[in-house]
Amino acid sequence: MTILDGKATSKAIREEIAVEVGKLKASGKKVPHLAAVIVGSDGASQTYVNAKVKDCRDVGFESTHIELPEETSEEDVLKQIEALNNDPEIDGYIVQLPLPKHIDEQRVLLAIDPAKDVDGFHPASVGKMVLGLDTFISATPWGIMELLKRYNVPTSGKNCVVIGRSNIVGRPMSILLSMPTEPGNCTVTLAHSRTKNLVELCYNADIVVAALGRPEFVTANMIKEGATVIDVGITRVKDETKKSGFALKGDVKFDEVAPKCAFITPVPGGVGPMTRAALMRNTLKAIDFKD
Ligand code: NAP
């Protein structure tokens, strides 16, 4: 059994990006500049944005952290988006989700210039991905594909079940794994809460991607010997033994599933760090999409 080490792989990716930034600097070019917009004071969102700003620093990018108060109107958020679209200094930016309830998330995401859409959530980015064109691919699916690639996990002709059909994880994951690429070329089943016989579907799969957000949902009886299991889930579960008062749980019951696997990602240290690295890679890529 091989553990797909997202921490080490993401470190390698960040080092590669830092080398590219060094080359840009050496040739007198501008270094990539990522902006992150956060509306309100949601604790988890603050933590995520701080981590992204730190990653930028580590790879040598410029970063700008824009904090807007919780009560900011939708129109004012849209004005901020327009300013970022028109700012030649900013190569890419993200709007941290979730937004406060009074703001229409779709309207905000649609206002992002697709050439700066480093989260890859804009319909133009999603459409290009579906057609196999060069674009920003959303962070978690890109991170998983990169992990499969770097560990040479066999995917061609394999049966794959993706559990979860969200726009940011499950659905793009199912599309990427079905593409005529390496990794890719899988025969994919996209499962969700209405799926029947999920245990049987998973048991017949060579690759299972669990992205449903239910701690330890995938158990040993659902996985066949020699399968590859990718655990996307991250759920905070109360744990008095931890200083923080909680533990992070994946969607896979790791201890009983891992011994059956050819490859498996741990939680933490698997998909999560790859998601962070993907944003840095997309920001570097943003330079190519500038006219
Ligand atoms: P989401 O939007 O809540 O979607 C969950 C999906 O799982 C839905 O499609 C839902 O089906 C399906 N589902 C729920 N219960 C199910 C069940 N019992 N059987 C089969 N399918 C079921 O979640 P998400 O944003 O995709 O995130 C999923 C998990 O990944 C969460 O734990 C999240 O924290 C984590 N995550 C991790 C990273 C990372 O970097 N590691 C990044 C993003 C998300 P319906 O569509 O029918 O409701």
pLDDT tens track, the chain, 291 positions:
999 999 999 999 999 999 999 999 999 999 999 999 999 988 788 888 889 989 999 999 999 999 999 999 999 999 999 999 999 999 999 999 999 999 999 999 999 999 999 999 999 999 999 999 999 999 999 999 999 999 999 999 999 999 999 999 999 999 999 999 999 999 999 999 999 999 999 999 999 999 999 999 999 999 999 999 999 999 999 999 999 899 999 999 999 999 999 999 999 999 999 999 999 999 999 998 776
Q: Which residue has the tokens 């794959």?
A: 160
Residue 140 near residue 273, CB atoms below 8 Å = no
The Cα–Cα gap between 39 and 89 comes to 22
* Strand 261-264 with 227-231, pairing: parallel
Q: In the annotation, is 52 catalytic? A: yes
Q: 290 CA to middle of ligand 1, Å?
A: 33
Find all residues with CB under 8 Å of 95, minimum gap 6, and list them.
37, 39, 77, 81, 108, 109, 112, 119
Task: Answer whether 28-113 and 139-272 agree in fold.
Answer: yes
Which residues does a 6 A CB cutoff place in the pocket of ligand 1?
140, 163-166, 168-170, 191-195, 198, 211-214, 232-235, 271-272, 275
Superfamily name and number for 28-113: Leucine Dehydrogenase, chain A, domain 1 (3.40.50.10860)
Residue 6 near residue 272, CB atoms below 8 Å = yes
Q: In the annotation, is 7 catalytic? A: no
Instruction: Say what the pTM is.
Output: 0.96
- DSSP-derived letter for residue 221 is G
Q: What is the third-level CATH fold of 139-272?
A: Rossmann fold (3.40.50)
Of 55, 80, 96, 249, which is the active-site residue? 96
The Cα–Cα gap between 189 and 54 comes to 37
The Cα–Cα gap between 36 and 50 comes to 9
Domain regions of the chain by residue span: 28-113, 139-272
